[in-house]
Amino acid sequence: MSSEPPRVGGALVRRVGTVLVAMMLAAIAATAVGLLIDGEALRGLGIFVMLGTPFAALARVAVHGASRREPRLVVFPLATLAVVVLGIVLAR
Amino acid sequence: MNPLELFGIGLAAGSLGALLGIGGGAILVPGLTLVAGLPLRSAVGASLVCVVATSVSGSAVYLWKDRVDLDVAVHLQAFTVVGAVAAGLVAASVPPGPLFIAFATLLAVIAIRMSPWSRGAADRAVLRPPRRRLAAGASVGAGVISGLLGVGGGVFNVPVLHLLLGMPFKRAVPTSVLMLGVTAAAAAAVYLVRGDVDTHVAGVAMLGTLGGGTLAAAVGGRINQRMLQALFTVVLLYTAWRMGLRGLDEF
Closest CA to A61 of A79, A49, A43, A74: A74
Report the pLDDT value the prediction gives residue B169, as an integer from 0 to 100: 75
Confidence of residue B21 (pLDDT cuts 50, 70, 90): low
Report the pLDDT value the prediction gives residue B221, as an integer from 0 to 100: 66
- Does residue B131 surpass a pLDDT of 80? no
Q: What angle do CA B144, B145, B147 make, to 5 degrees?
A: 65
Domain count, chain A: 1
Residues B213 and B232: their CA atoms lie apart, in Å, by: 16
* B150/chain A closest Cα distance in angstroms: 14
Smallest Cβ–Cβ distance between B71 and the set A7, A24, A51 belongs to A7
All residues of chain A having their beta carbon less than 8 Å from the beta carbon of residue B85 are: 83-84, 86-87
Confidence of residue B47 (pLDDT cuts 50, 70, 90): very high
Q: How many CA atoms lie within 13 A of A18 on its CB side?
A: 8
Domain ranges of chain B: 3-250
Q: How many helices (H) and strands (E) does chain A have?
A: 3, 0
Evaluate whether residue A57 is within a structural domain: yes
In the three-class reduction of DSSP (H, G, I as helix; E, B as strand; rest coil), residue B127 is classed as: coil
Smallest Cβ–Cβ distance between B130 and the set A1, A50, A92 belongs to A1
C-beta atoms surrounding A68 within 10 Å: 12
* B41/chain A closest Cα distance in angstroms: 15
Burial class (CB in 10 A: 0-12, 13-18, 19+), A71: exposed
**Binary contact (A51, B64; C-beta < 8 A):** no
Confidence of residue A44 (pLDDT cuts 50, 70, 90): very high
Evaluate whether residue A2 is within a structural domain: no
Closest CA to B185 of B173, B201, B197, B175: B197
This prediction's pTM: 0.87
Q: Give the pLDDT mean for B147-156.
A: 81
- Does residue B120 surpass a pLDDT of 60? no
Q: What angle do CA B132, B135, B141 make, to 5 degrees?
A: 150
Smallest Cβ–Cβ distance between B66 and the set A10, A79, A86 belongs to A10
Residues 172-191 (B) with a CB less than 8 A from some CB of A: 178, 181-182, 185-186, 188-190
Q: B69 in contact with A at a CB cutoff of 8 Å?
A: yes
Report the pLDDT value the prediction gives residue A9, as an integer from 0 to 100: 62
Evaluate whether residue A5 is within a structural domain: no
The amino acid sitting at B154 is G
Write down the ipTM of this complex: 0.88
- Does residue A87 surpass a pLDDT of 90? yes
Evaluate whether residue A18 is within a structural domain: yes
**In which domain, by residue range, is A70 found?**
10-91
**Binary contact (A23, B132; C-beta < 8 A):** no
**Chain centre to alpha carbon of residue B95:** 21
**Binary contact (B56, A20; C-beta < 8 A):** yes
Evaluate whether residue A3 is within a structural domain: no
Evaluate whether residue A79 is within a structural domain: yes
Q: Give the pLDDT mean for B186-202.
A: 92
Q: What is the pLDDT of residues B70-111, one digit of tens each?
A: 888 999 999 999 999 999 999 888 888 888 888 888 888 888
**Binary contact (A87, B189; C-beta < 8 A):** yes
In the three-class reduction of DSSP (H, G, I as helix; E, B as strand; rest coil), residue B168 is classed as: coil
Report the pLDDT value the prediction gives residue B208, as an integer from 0 to 100: 93
The amino acid sitting at B122 is A
Q: Give the pLDDT mean for A68-87.
A: 92
All residues of chain B having their beta carbon less than 8 Å from the beta carbon of residue A3 are: 166, 168
**Binary contact (B190, A91; C-beta < 8 A):** yes
Report the pLDDT value the prediction gives residue A8, as an integer from 0 to 100: 62
- Does residue A1 surpass a pLDDT of 70? no
Report the pLDDT value the prediction gives residue B168, as an integer from 0 to 100: 81
In the three-class reduction of DSSP (H, G, I as helix; E, B as strand; rest coil), residue A1 is classed as: coil
**Binary contact (B181, A54; C-beta < 8 A):** yes
